[in-house]
Amino acid sequence: MKRVMLLMLAVVTAFAAYAQPKNVNKANTAFSKGELAEAATLIEPATQDEKTKNKGRTWYVRGEIYGAIANSDDEALKNQYPDALYKAVESYNKVFELEKESSSYYGLATLNFDRLTGSVLNKGVEAYQNDDYEGALQAFDEYTKVLPEDTTGYIYAALMAQQLEKYEDVVRYYEGLFNLGEYPASGLTTVIYYELNMLDNPEKALEFVKLAEEKYPDDAGFKKTEVDILIKMDKMDEAIAELKHAIEMEPEDAALYSNLGLLYDSQGKYELAVEEYKKALALNPSDRFSLINLAVFYISQGDKLHKKTLDMDMATFRKEGEKVDAQAREEWKKAIPLLEKVLEADPNDELALQNLHAVYYKLKDYENAKKMEDRRRELGYIVDK
């Protein structure tokens, strides 16, 4: 009896060893008939069996089956195998691993792999052309997963995420691109902007701008962006240092000196601010920002001197008041040509009109003060109650 049982066991074992290669054939036959669910059921055991799991043909047949499911119009079938695309790609990659490049299965797998991944990309393009941005994003996202070393999917997916205002996804896809060693300036610029302005993450934006400066050391634009980020983070000393570096890169850019003046202004370093505004105007005499800020500085200096006269006692005023008041008037007068220069470029500049109105009033030039007031009222800057 024992011998009979051993004989039966040997027969079963032999049948199992034979059954697995036969399963590949059966799976292939089912695939040929379009019976894809049956084919998928039959092929899986063969990928685990010692006799067939290291055969290129096994994985080639599996790739064909799951590729057909992924491209099927049968939604129920695709829902039954939601990972069919990835299984097909996995299968063809296994063929590449097991077969020599000269083998027929390697060549056939290459053709099918290219068709399969190409169909995913085309699906995304077609969806985009039909204004189906969600569908396009889904297809391009799939493409990044089936071909993670191809930059195309990340670029297209990032563009679709931008269309859909999915800012975190935009950053994620560009990061995938960066991880492949590709650092397009436009991509870095986009990621920096979204991190800073849409996701309110200046620390992350600063990381990306540092990366951008590393990849594009001659691009002063990234240095300027870093300054903006540091200002937003209230790191004024670092912002000043980086702005000085930007000036070294672009010494003819008047706006850089003007911005540096503003940073000094914000720190109460008014004399340093004035120096920078003057440098900006030497390069660009029409620089509005510097003209107005320099004018405001002179107005402020005049106000300080005038306040001194108001705080004087009668004896001191008789002795020094007229002189100090004359100094105040000289400071106020310095602001007039600067503000007039702004109005030459834009006669409706609200800030220039407002300050010029104030200066004329301080100088007791009521005629010109009235002209400025009327002009402001005419433009709607002053609304009578």
Q: Given 56, 75, 98, which residue is the final one in a domain? A: 98
Structural domain boundaries enclosing 79:
20-98
Q: Inform me whether the pLDDT recorded for 350 exceeds 90.
A: yes
- The average pLDDT across 140-144 equals 94
Q: What is the average per-residue pLDDT within 203-213? A: 96
Q: Is 159 exposed, middle or buried (0-12, 13-18, 19+ CB in 10 A)?
A: middle
Predicted pLDDT of residue 349: 95
User: Tens digit of pLDDT for each residue in 26-60?
Assistant: 989 999 999 999 999 999 999 998 889 899 999 99
Instruction: Supply the pLDDT for residue 288.
Output: 95
pLDDT per residue over 238-297, tens digit each? 999 999 998 998 999 999 999 999 999 988 999 999 999 999 999 999 999 999 999 999
Is residue 64 over pLDDT 80?
A: yes
Query: Given this model, what pLDDT does residue 6 score?
Result: 39
Confidence grade of residue 214 (pLDDT, cut at 50, 70, 90): very high
* CATH code: domain of residue 359: 1.25.40.10
**At a CB cut-off of 8 Å and minimum separation 6, what does 62 contact?**
27, 43, 44, 46, 47, 87, 88, 91
Mean predicted lDDT score pLDDT of the chain: 90
Residue 94 lies in a domain: yes
The pLDDT of residue 312 is 87
Give residue 266's pLDDT. 87
Q: What's the confidence (pLDDT) of residue 2? A: 43
For residue 214, tell me if it sits in a domain: no
- Please tell me the predicted confidence (pLDDT) of residue 256: 92
111 found inside a domain: no
Q: Give the CATH number for residue 82.
A: 1.25.40
| pTM as predicted | 0.71
Percent of the chain clearing pLDDT 70 (strictly above): 94
Residue 338: the pLDDT is 97
Mean pLDDT score, 188-205: 95
Q: What is the pLDDT of residue 14?
A: 41
Instruction: For residue 328, tell me if it sits in a domain.
Output: yes
Rounded to an integer, the average pLDDT of 90-116 is 93
Does residue 280 lie within any of the structural domains? yes
- One-letter-per-residue 3-state SS of the chain: CHHHHHHHHHHHHHHHHHHHHHHHHHHHHHHHCCCHHHHHHHHHHHCCCCCCCCCHHHHHHHHHHHHHHHCCCCHHHHHHCCCHHHHHHHHHHHHHHHCCCCCHHHHHHHHHHHHHHHHHHHHHHHHHHCCCHHHHHHHHHHHHHHCCCCHHHHHHHHHHHHHCCCHHHHHHHHHHHHHCCCCCHHHHHHHHHHHHHHCCCHHHHHHHHHHHHHHCCCCHHHHHHHHHHHHHCCCHHHHHHHHHHHHHHCCCCHHHHHHHHHHHHHCCCHHHHHHHHHHHHHHCCCCHHHHHHHHHHHHHHHHHHHHHHHHCCHHHHHHHHHHHHHHHHHHHHHHHHHHHHHHHHCCCCHHHHHHHHHHHHHCCCHHHHHHHHHHHHHCCCCCCC
Q: Is the pLDDT of residue 16 over 50?
A: no
Q: Which two tokens stand for residue 381?
A: 């800057």
Establish if 121 belongs to a structural domain.
no
Within a domain: residue 46?
Answer: yes
| Residue 21 binned pLDDT confidence (cut-offs 50, 70, 90) | low
Number of folded domains in the chain? 2
Task: Specify if 167 maps to a domain.
Answer: no
Q: What is the pLDDT of residues 175-184, one digit of tens each?
A: 999 999 999 9
Select from 98, 127, 147 the last residue of a domain: 98
Q: Which of 78, 98, 118 is the last residue of a domain?
A: 98
Whether 7 shows a pLDDT value over 50: the answer reads: no
